[in-house]
Chain A
Amino acid sequence: MRTLKIALAGNPNCGKTTLFNTLTGANQHVGNWPGKTIEQKTGNFNFNGRKIELIDLPGTYSLTSFSEEEQITMDFLINEKPDITINIVDATNLERNLFLTFEVLEHISSVVILINMDKLAKEKGIIINPKSIESKLGVPVNVCDAKNKDECSGFMKKMIAYSAKKKRESNLKLNYGDELEEHLLKVEEIIKNDKISFQNYTPRLLSVKLLQNDKLISKEVLNLDNASNLKRELEKIKRHLRKIFGNDYDTVMSDKKHGLAAGVVKESLKRININRESRSDRLDKVLTNKYVGIPIFLLIIFIVFQMTFTFAKPFVGLIELCVSFFAKITSVWIASTQLPAWVGSLISDGIIGGVGSVIVFLPNIFIMFFLISLLEDFGYLARAAFIMDELMHKIGLHGKSFIPLILGFGCNVPAIMSTRSLDNKKDKLLTILIIPFMSCSARLPVYILFVGAFFIKYQGLILFSLYLLGILLAISSGLLFKKFFFKNETSDLILEIPPYRLPTLSGAVIHTWERGKQFIYKAGTLILSASIVVWFFSNLPLGVAYASEDSLIGQIGKFVAPILAPLGFGFWQAAVALIFGVVAKEVVVSTFATIYGVSEGNLTGVIHGMFTPLSAYAFMVMTLIYIPCVATITTIKTETGSWMIALMLAAYTLTLGWVFALIIYRGGLLLGFG
């Protein structure tokens, strides 16, 4: 039997991804929508012998081409024609969710409604009658808890039965009232007569889109060769509508859909004891409070870092043991073969030393992503965006830009990509320019190595100070850029504050694994290659002592080292580590390891001999600030379309890093921390 193509559509925070995870489990593939930076999730699995392809569409509030998410969803529904589209509806927010439902029903047929979070709604005193909704909308309506596996499989069974018996029928035709219908009909006639066709849109839907002033569709349709007649007529109609409905004439049809949604709610939803203040409201009084909101935010981030260390410790120890055990058996194995000695050195010093020194930080990275994902699922990140809005406004951005900045803690590359969700170009550019100051997880291995070596007692605090310094630099650089490049431009926040929800373990685990996988991939490719290059540079020219001052790497290092001398780490090994760290910041650690031919455990001893606590801190600050990694620089180029911007930023950060490391080292000496 043919594969059944099922799409999931719904508002953000309606439980779409939860349902997707419940249905697909581990059988999911995460990629990007072609040509877009928005994540595309698909899952292929068998259900009762039937092959199913499930597509998780981006969360949207409506279907227009005003945002990339909506564009993708609309395109997919119209052109890919899924066999069934599941529209997930949040029972606790029925009316708003039904607005999208009407939009979906207007676009396509074969829609099934799934009401999620019905239990939660009942707790809030909201009683929904699904049969009544079904009779109003004319499509199947099911109540199902997206977290509950049994309920979801029951729902799937119904869907498959539904797909077998139901023939495709035409999509819902809404009545927009005499005044609008007259013009819609007129436009529809012209479209038919002039044989104008656009993708798979029906003439009716196209005329609705044109009267709504849908940005992209209007542009493309009116540029068609046979659209001159349509264009003229449309101008006339719009002038007329403006006279009747005022400047908001293009939202009149949306208003109609809001009205229909309200009508359904009125007939199908009952409220009891509505005046009770919810737990969510009480929590918000504290977390979004004007005075304590920001301190609480800082405290939460601090706790995240402290936990990153504490929980990871036993696992790090375990991985260290494994790496050193692996190194030992490899060297025994190589000794037993006829391979030349240099191969042994390449494998044990270069590869195992280099990659091993980075891979030990895997637990820290997993735990940090896990905790951030819990915060996100709980609904805290939206609050963080809210409380930071005022501060962000001072640098000409709004709170929504704060979310890419937080994502920057994970990795700057996806953070920069996520700026595409920002509404205007200036917001996007300014946010991109300050993201590299957020301490990504690649910088974490460097911090952990040095903090572990010098600041055991205050590890959480020192780590926190570095992240905080990054945030402060991002803000002050933002101010600077605003002052010189983006005068008098402001933009504003519009963000849904979702109710707090208990995060699910499986959701957080899946999310963490996705991110962690990227780190493992990086260790296996970029860091592996860099380690091999460092090893070769350490052995050239031929005959030189491994990683000595006379080797190629030593000479490069010695050339650069004097520049770093005022910062307290003017030895060639540090210079080399920083140079190769531009490839990926973890390489700072693996380079030390490769040069010294040691794995992480002994590395602590080696750096103890080279750094003082003060110069170690200055070195960490340098690692934080100086030049974004190659991947980040190229992403900045792709997203801004300008090498100039990317390279200017590299120069700016390099200078800033040097100056800050200098201030910290020299200042520390003056204060007697030497």
Chain B
Amino acid sequence: MKEICLKLSDIPEGKKVKIDSVVCGDNVKHRLCSLGVLKGKTVEMIKNDSSGPIILKVLDSKLAVGREQAKNIFICKSGLKK
């Protein structure tokens, strides 16, 4: 059975999710990785208006991520928690 995956940009505010994959170039990948956004890590959506950047809670810090980039971070069904 194929797993259903969501984009991070579609996650509503207040929800905690586990990241499944980050699709981007080396520079961005390493930057996100050093900030704690990488495969297997849990992040919480703090702010997600229908447009503009999102704000994530990663560990104890807040991180603003542009919407286009957030569309390239994927969460699959098993990573969707309350």
Contact = CB atoms under 8 A, between A and B. Distances in A.
Contact of A492 (B35, B61, B69): B69
Contact of B63 (A64, A247, A399, A497): A497
Interface in B1-35: 21-22, 26-35
Contacts of B26: 66, 213, 215, 250
A337 B64 CA distance: 67
A295 to B, nearest CB: 15
Interface in A247-265: 247-248, 250-251, 254-255, 258
A533 B58 CA distance: 58
A85 B73 CA distance: 36
Contacts of B31: 61, 66-67, 423, 494
B62 interface: yes
Nearest to A61: B34
Contacts of B64: 382, 385-386, 389, 399, 493-497
A496 B62 CA distance: 6
A496 B35 contact: yes
A288 B58 contact: no
A150 interface: no
A250 B59 CA distance: 22
Given A96-B59, A399-B53, A399-B64, A62 B30 contact: yes
Nearest to A386: B64
A2 interface: no
Contacts, number: 128
A288 B60 contact: no
Interface in B28-69: 28-36, 38-41, 47, 49, 51-53, 55, 58-69
Interface residues of A, number: 45
B52 A255 contact: no
Given A96-B58, A290-B49, A493 B69 contact: yes
A219 to B, nearest CB: 12
Contact of A254 (B34, B55, B60, B63): B34
B61 A96 contact: yes
B55 A93 contact: no
B59 A95 contact: yes
A398 interface: yes
Contact of B38 (A61, A258, A495, A498): A258
9 contacts: A62-B30, A99-B34, A251-B30, A258-B36, A389-B52, A393-B67, A492-B68, A494-B31, A495-B63
Interface of A: 61-62, 64, 66-67, 92-96, 99-100, 126, 213, 215, 247-248, 250-251, 254-255, 258, 284, 288, 290, 382, 385-386, 389-390, 393, 398-399, 423-424, 490-499
